[in-house]
Amino acid sequence: MGFYTPATSDWRRQLEGYDDEDAQFLIELYSGHGNAEEYRSWNDVLADDQGVLYCPETSDDFLPTCQQAGNIMAERCSNAGFDKNYCDDLVEKTKMYSANMGAGSFAAVNETDEDEFLDAGQCRDCFQPAFNYRPLGSAQYILAMTDFTNPEYPKDLNLVLLDQVITMLQDLALALKKLSGIPIQKHEASLVVLQKA
């Protein structure tokens, strides 16, 4: 999640190469950057069967960044007075470039203002979502995954979920206790260990 995470990031890649049963992944579930808990079926960029990236269509609940880049280009091209065929071709190229630019997909159109991108790439119905939401990096997606490559030994990821807000509040409480002279008691970060049965 966040500004630096490519739209194609997917925790399934971690599961396929995961072979250390003693290790666990630490996931920050909620921080000052937003919530990474909820799965959604949309993605900012999709790949076809050959792995070629393309721009998904806009839906009622999600506006892909590449589609909005195309919308911005369409408006600019039309305002500049170019013919429709030229503009349509330019819009398709802009969407393709944007879909293939990783975390910098917004840069497919020069000299844009962040307001021009509206809520592109953002989860509209998540509770306080992380910026540039990546559903294939959400806790729900990760916990639902199982690798059945070896049917006799299916693999799941063991997760440790860290709620950064609780940890920050505990740190603040400790600092206040220290400043006020109240004896400090041992504290631990708020961790939840989740493992499939």
Percent of the chain with pLDDT over 90: 40
Q: What is the mean pLDDT of residues 32-60?
A: 90
The helix/strand/coil state of 136 is helix
Long-range contacts of 72-78 (CB under 8 A, 24+ apart): 72/109, 72/112, 72/116, 72/117, 73/108, 73/109, 76/109
Token pair 């949309």: residue: 42
Q: What is the mean pLDDT of residues 65-73?
A: 98
Q: Is the pLDDT of residue 141 over 70?
A: yes
- What secondary structure does DSSP assign to 52-104, as a single string? -EEPPPPBTTB--HHHHHHHHHHHHHHHTT--HHHHHHHHHHHHHHHHTSGGG
pLDDT level of residue 188 (50, 70, 90 thresholds): very low
Q: What is the pTM of this model?
A: 0.74
CB–CB of 118/124 below 8 Å? no
Q: What is the mean pLDDT of residues 15-19?
A: 70
pLDDT digits (tens, 9 = 90+) for 100-123: 998 888 899 999 998 999 999 999
Q: Is the pLDDT of residue 190 over 80?
A: no
Q: Which of 73, 12, 3 is nearest to 44 (CA)?
A: 3
Please give the pLDDT value at position 191.
44
CB–CB of 56/46 below 8 Å? yes
More confident residue, 190 or 107: 107
